[in-house]
Amino acid sequence: MKYLHEFRDGPKAQALAEQIRRMVTRRWAIMEVCGGQTHSIIRHGIDQILPPEIELIHGPGCPVCVTPVETIDKALAIASQPGVIFCSFGDMLRVPGSREDLFAVKSRGADVRVVYSPLDAVKLAQREPQRQVVFFAIGFETTAPANAMAAKLARQLGLKNFSLLVSHVLVPPAIEAILNSPHNRVQAFLAAGHVCSVMGYWQYPPLAQRYRVPIVVTGFEPLDLLEGIRRAVAQLESGRAEVENAYARVVTYHGNRAAQAVIEEVFTTTDRQWRGIGLIPQSGWRLRPEYADLDAELRFGTAEVQAEESPLCLSGQVLQGIIKPHECPAFGKECTPRTPLGATMVSAEGACAAYYHYGRHRQMPVSG
């Protein structure tokens, strides 16, 4: 782990870690909500240069991980239909549904394609007018501007062969659900920088006040994360519960208004099931009724799908910070990135996969 040490030994990282060490007087649990941040924390060993009093709890912010099994099953059903080209971000292909994943249906001949951007799927629909192109529109607020624009463009272009399977999720309702849980141990949040670059952070002050919890908008680079943690600890130690922006080079209070306008035009909020966690009220976006003709669920009639989760998988507890990935009995045994039982083992942003890739289960004893 050459790079890890280069980062850790760097003077800036050392100085930040030292400041945190000097401030801390007791144990604190801080949650990073975003899976990209989880990945960065584990990869750079940020949790390991922090004083032992600081525990980082890995939150549910990996869109691949929280997409419900039912939705994966619907994707599999749609992708298996003749004439369909099913487009998805690459991470989704190995996410297990009740019985299999997109890779399996692809290897049986279904036309499943990995795209970088939803616009690639729109272009594909233009090129292949005789095929039905379906885009798997998952993600947090960061991805929504792209998916909303794909819908808008398809409409403008009059495409009759393009539709979206939408499963969008939202960060603030998830934070609130965590705070409302009787098991909650989280005392401060690092809010995901790129979600805030789209949405701003005006939604957070009421949460910070109502639940007396510091929220720090934080970036993804190792030093950004250390700075976010430093600010969260400073607030905790002085009894403050405010919203701070530690990622001001990208994030503004109001966010990207042009993007919000298009999201607003295409999507509306809805209750959403989160894989491993359950239903969170008003925690997702779906297509507005005005865009119902682009809804793949309606076009392909996938309403009745019975989903089953692997009984061994404890990803719900991992996603809520109740256990650490290596404390799951299946971790590294029945469940590996090649044979994932839960979505948190699939995506590089999933906590189980991050622990597995960076050998955390070998470095630390089983404990909290």
Partner 1 sequence: MCLAVPGKVESIYESQGTRMGRVNFGGVVKEVCLAYVPEVRQGDYVIVHVGFAISRIDEASALETLRTFEQLGLLEEELEELRAGEEPSPAPPEPAAPQ
How many degrees, rounded to 5, is the angle at CA 72 between CA 71 and CA 76? 115
CB 173 within 8 A of CB 274: no
Site residues for partner 1 per CB under 8 A:
2-3, 6-7, 34-37, 39-40, 44, 63, 87, 89-91, 113-121, 123-124, 126-127, 139, 142-143, 145-146, 149, 153, 156-157, 192, 194, 197-198, 220-223, 249-251, 256, 258-259, 262, 349
65 binds, options ligand SF4, partner 1, none, Cβ within 5 to 8 A by partner type: none
CB 219 within 8 A of CB 225: yes
Comparing CB distances to ligand SF4, the nearer of 134 and 341 is 341
328 binds, options ligand SF4, partner 1, none, Cβ within 5 to 8 A by partner type: ligand SF4
Which SS3 state, helix, strand or coil, does residue 329 take?
A: coil
Lateral strand order in the sheet of 28-34: 54-61, 28-34, 188-192, 215-218, 243-245
CB 273 within 8 A of CB 65: no
CB 291 within 8 A of CB 308: no
Q: What is the largest CA-CA distance in the chain?
A: 66
| Residue of 264, 284, 19, 269 lying closest to 168 (CA atoms) | 284
Site residues for ligand SF4 per CB under 6 A:
312-315, 318, 325, 328, 330-331, 335, 340-342, 344-345, 352
Q: Within a 13 Å sphere around the CA of 118, how many CA atoms are in the beta-carbon half?
A: 23
331 binds, options ligand SF4, partner 1, none, Cβ within 5 to 8 A by partner type: ligand SF4
State the nearest-atom distance from the C-beta of 101 to ligand SF4, in Å: 13
338 binds, options partner 1, ligand SF4, none, Cβ within 5 to 8 A by partner type: none
Helix (H) or strand (E) holding 30: strand 28-34
Comparing CB distances to partner 1, the nearer of 145 and 342 is 145
349 binds, options ligand SF4, partner 1, none, Cβ within 5 to 8 A by partner type: partner 1
State the nearest-atom distance from the C-beta of 165 to ligand SF4, in Å: 23
State the nearest-atom distance from the C-beta of 10 to partner 1, in Å: 8
- And the tokens for 196? 């805030």
State the nearest-atom distance from the C-beta of 350 to ligand SF4, in Å: 7
CB 18 within 8 A of CB 12: no
Which residues pair with residue 112 across a beta bridge? Answer: 86
Comparing CB distances to partner 1, the nearer of 189 and 211 is 189
DSSP tally for the chain: helices H, then strands E:
18, 11
State the nearest-atom distance from the C-beta of 177 to ligand SF4, in Å: 19
Comparing CB distances to partner 1, the nearer of 314 and 345 is 345
256 binds, options partner 1, ligand SF4, none, Cβ within 5 to 8 A by partner type: partner 1
Comparing CB distances to ligand SF4, the nearer of 96 and 172 is 96
* Residue 319 to residue 60: CA distance in whole angstroms: 5
* Residue 129 to residue 132: CA distance in whole angstroms: 8
State the nearest-atom distance from the C-beta of 234 to partner 1, in Å: 23
- Find tokens 């298996």 and name the residue: 80
316 binds, options partner 1, ligand SF4, none, Cβ within 5 to 8 A by partner type: none
Q: Beta strands 267-274 and 278-287: pairing type?
A: antiparallel
State the nearest-atom distance from the C-beta of 348 to ligand SF4, in Å: 13
State the nearest-atom distance from the C-beta of 209 to partner 1, in Å: 27
